[in-house]
């Protein structure tokens, strides 16, 4: 008995490159799933999905997420440090001006 052919669903055109990429990934995953179910998947497809499900891959993904968090925190710390330095400089100028060490016409560095 012949297998009924499935109608291919027409995808709406993606509006961005990222959306298009997501569409293509979704199609590839659907195809891989179909191949795995039918038993026609290549060894590369099988290996790919086995790796995705491995503990090692999950640990690597978690490490990447944590590194990203660390980089964001470091960036925020540097920005905060710069702001604190600016505030100290303003405070020092104000104190010098108040004590008479800095006149109004002297430029700030």
Q: How far apart are CA 25 and CA 94, in angstroms?
A: 59
9-56 confidence digits (pLDDT tens): 677 888 999 999 999 999 999 999 999 999 999 999 999 988 888 888
Q: How confident is the model at residue 1 (pLDDT cuts 50, 70, 90)?
A: very low
State the CB neighbour count (10 A cutoff) for residue 20: 13
Taking only the tens place, the pLDDT of each residue in 82-103 is 999 999 999 999 888 888 887 7
As a 3-state breakdown, the chain gives helix, strand, coil percent values, each rounded to 5, of 70, 0, 30
- Domain ranges for the chain: 30-99
Number of Cβ within a 10 Å radius of residue 49: 15
pTM across the whole model: 0.50
């Amino acid at each position: 008995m012949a297998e009924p052919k499935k109608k291919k669903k027409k995808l709406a055109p993606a509006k961005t490159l990222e959306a298009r990429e997501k569409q293509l990934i979704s199609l590839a995953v659907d195809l891989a799933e179909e191949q795995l179910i039918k038993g026609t998947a290549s060894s590369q497809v099988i290996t790919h999905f086995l790796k995705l499900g491995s503990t090692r891959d999950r640990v690597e993904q978690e490490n990447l997420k944590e590194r990203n968090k660390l980089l964001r925190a470091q960036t925020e710390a540097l920005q905060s440090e710069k702001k604190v330095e600016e505030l100290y400089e303003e405070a020092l100028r104000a104190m010098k001006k108040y004590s008479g060490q800095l006149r109004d016409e002297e430029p700030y560095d």
